């Protein structure tokens, strides 16, 4: 049976997500032969190890931990991971404790998860092995404020950063200065143990100093001066908690106990990223009979600008050789008003594209924008899939799509048109995929 364009969009998106599945990606990175364990490109002799500890955090980290348990079983002495509420699976892990915590804003469970992870690391010796598991979301799921700050201070700071339109590199630069587990905090607690870290990247270029706020990279520690400079650049000083500003404005240098480079950066292996998802999505589109064009640049910057560039590319597609699939990946940013309504960056992008498709009278295009983690912003929806009739369907259901854009209320408008993409937690997180089918 031939798929409709919306069905084909969904299938192409799902193929991209499946290619970066957290369990499969970690399983591929591990190989056990007798007493020898390969982690990425590194071989380790387990017979020389006193203990094997597993810690980690992120939206995809449950699946990553499940793969480690499947490979190593009772060789694991202890472990604890922090995941977003609802981002677990079955059967339950046996050797690694799971703590569900807040995202995108940290909560009390974020403190608990970080505290338990660091407690496992304290007392490590040079013949211990620590396997770290990191994926997007860890910056909120693991939290431990520097002296003088409280959870509420970090929560409000993150709320301000999220609304500012800052990209993930800028946000995590500030967060690393305010939290003792970030910027190498986990590695310092683990020293002198051997650490090896597996990573699912939600950052363009797989920048290890940005992913998860670099808990295993002491060299990524951020000075208060650098964090202040970032805050000034973003114009956020008037909006941040007074306690945060006092801390950052105090004596310069890196916070004692969280910034001095006490250990070298342990090896990190990126097991999945956005480029892999884009490539797999493109391959599936070809199997469905589409001529594929991959967007040459990452989808970054203000969402309005990215949508405009994307639409121009869609409108300019040459259909002389048949239907075309345009695929891109990245993570646009959204600057939110004081009281945004329900939605997320991918749903907002889809709504903007729906309006463009109607305005240009294009009934031959279908456009999908969705997060590979299955959660767009603070929602349980991955994104949206729209066409030239979506805006009219919203109006027929009593929603004004233009008003929904202005109020950042993309969620209800897309839901009314039956245009939301709902996957549930996917056990991966490699930013967003955009798919456009034309012709």
State pLDDT tens for residues 305-357.
999 999 999 999 999 999 999 999 999 999 988 878 899 999 999 999 999 99
Q: Is 60 in a helix, a strand, or coil? A: coil
Residue 256 has pLDDT above 50, yes or no: no
Residue 436 has pLDDT above 70, yes or no: yes
Helix axes 61-72, 22-29, angle to 10 degrees: 40
Listed in sequence order, the residues at least 6 apart from 316 whose beta carbon sits closer than 8 Å to its beta carbon are none
Mean pLDDT of 69-86: 98
Residue 159 has pLDDT above 50, yes or no: yes
**Is there a contact between 71 and 30 (Cβ–Cβ < 8 Å)?**
yes
In what order do the strands lie in the sheet containing 268-272?
A: 97-101, 78-84, 51-57, 128-134, 194-200, 268-272
Residue 178 has pLDDT above 50, yes or no: yes
The per-residue pLDDT for 336 is 86
Q: Which CATH superfamily is domain 5-12+274-438 in?
A: MOFRL domain (3.40.1480.10)
Percent over 90 (pLDDT), the chain: 91
Q: Write out the two tokens for 346.
A: 């991918």
Residue 259 has pLDDT above 70, yes or no: no
Between residues 337 and 147, which one has the greater pLDDT?
Answer: 147
Burial track 415-426 (b if 16+ CB lie within 10 A, e otherwise): bbbebbbebebb
Residue 195 has pLDDT above 60, yes or no: yes
The per-residue pLDDT for 434 is 99
Q: Write out the two tokens for 161.
A: 């950063």
Q: From the CB of residue 372, how many other CB atoms can be counted at a distance below 10 Å?
A: 31
Query: Per DSSP, which regions of 40-182 are E strands?
Result: 42-45, 51-57, 78-84, 97-101, 128-134
User: Has this prediction a pTM greater than 0.85?
Assistant: yes
Q: What is the CATH number of domain 21-272?
A: 3.40.50.10180
Two domains, one topology: 5-12+274-438 and 21-272: no
Which helix H or strand E contains 32, and what residues bound it?
A: strand 30-33
In the chain, what are the domain boundaries? 5-12+274-438, 21-272
pLDDT band at 219 (very low <50, low <70, confident <90, very high): confident
Mean pLDDT of 224-228: 88
The per-residue pLDDT for 48 is 97
Q: From the CB of residue 85, how many other CB atoms can be counted at a distance below 10 Å?
A: 13
Query: Per DSSP, which regions of 220-323 are E strands?
Result: 268-272, 291-294
Q: From the CB of residue 226, how many other CB atoms can be counted at a distance below 10 Å?
A: 17
**Is there a contact between 252 and 225 (Cβ–Cβ < 8 Å)?**
yes
Query: Between vectors from CA 109 to CA 55 and to CA 224, what angle results, nearest 5°?
Result: 80
d(CA 55, CA 130): 7
The per-residue pLDDT for 1 is 59
Residue 260 has pLDDT above 80, yes or no: no
pLDDT band at 255 (very low <50, low <70, confident <90, very high): very low
The per-residue pLDDT for 261 is 43
pLDDT band at 222 (very low <50, low <70, confident <90, very high): confident
């Amino acid at each position: 049976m031939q798929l409709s364009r919306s069905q084909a969009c969904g299938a192409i998106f799902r193929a991209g997500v499946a290619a970066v599945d957290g369990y499969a990606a970690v399983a591929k990175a591990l190989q056990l032969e007798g007493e020898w364990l390969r982690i990425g490109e590194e071989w380790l002799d387990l017979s020389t190890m006193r203990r094997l500890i597993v810690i980690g955090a992120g939206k995809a980290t449950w699946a990553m931990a499940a793969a480690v348990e499947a490979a190593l079983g009772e060789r694991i002495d202890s472990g604890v991971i922090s995941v977003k509420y609802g981002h677990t699976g079955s059967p339950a892990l046996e050797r690694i404790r799971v703590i569900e915590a807040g995202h995108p804003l940290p909560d009390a469970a974020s403190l608990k998860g970080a505290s338990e992870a660091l407690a496992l690391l304290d007392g490590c010796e040079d013949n211990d092995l620590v396997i770290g598991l990191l994926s997007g979301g860890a910056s909120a799921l693991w939290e431990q404020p520097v002296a003088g700050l409280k959870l509420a201070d970090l929560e409000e700071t993150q709320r301000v950063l999220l609304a500012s339109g800052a990209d993930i590199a800028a946000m995590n630069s500030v967060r690393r200065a305010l939290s003792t587990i970030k910027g190498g905090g986990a590695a310092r607690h683990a020293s002198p143990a051997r650490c090896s870290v597996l990573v699912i990247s939600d950052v363009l270029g797989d920048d290890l100093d940005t992913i998860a706020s670099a808990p295993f990279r002491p060299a990524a520690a951020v000075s208060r001066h650098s964090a202040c400079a970032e805050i000034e650049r973003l114009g956020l000083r008037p909006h941040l908690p007074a306690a945060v500003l006092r801390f950052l404005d105090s004596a310069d240098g890196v916070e004692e106990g969280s910034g001095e480079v006490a250990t070298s950066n342990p090896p990190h292996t990126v097991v999945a990223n956005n480029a892999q998802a884009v490539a797999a999505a493109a391959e599936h589109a070809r199997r469905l009979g589409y001529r594929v064009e991959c967007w040459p640049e990452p989808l970054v910057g203000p969402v309005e600008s990215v949508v405009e560039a994307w639409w121009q590319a869609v409108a300019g597609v040459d259909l002389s050789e048949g239907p075309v699939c345009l695929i891109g990946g990245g993570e646009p940013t959204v600057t939110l008003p004081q009281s945004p309504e329900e939605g997320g960056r991918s749903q907002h992008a889809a709504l903007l594209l729906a309006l463009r498709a109607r305005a240009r009278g294009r009934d031959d295009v279908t456009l999908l924008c969705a997060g590979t983690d299955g959660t767009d912003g603070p929602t349980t929806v991955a994104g949206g899939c729209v066409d030239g009739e979506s805006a009219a369907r919203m109006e027929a259901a009593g929603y004004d799509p233009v008003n929904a854009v202005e109020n950042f209320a993309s969620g209800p408008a897309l839901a009314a048109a039956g245009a939301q993409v709902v996957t549930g937690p996917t056990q991966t997180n490699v930013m967003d995929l955009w798919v456009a089918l034309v012709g």
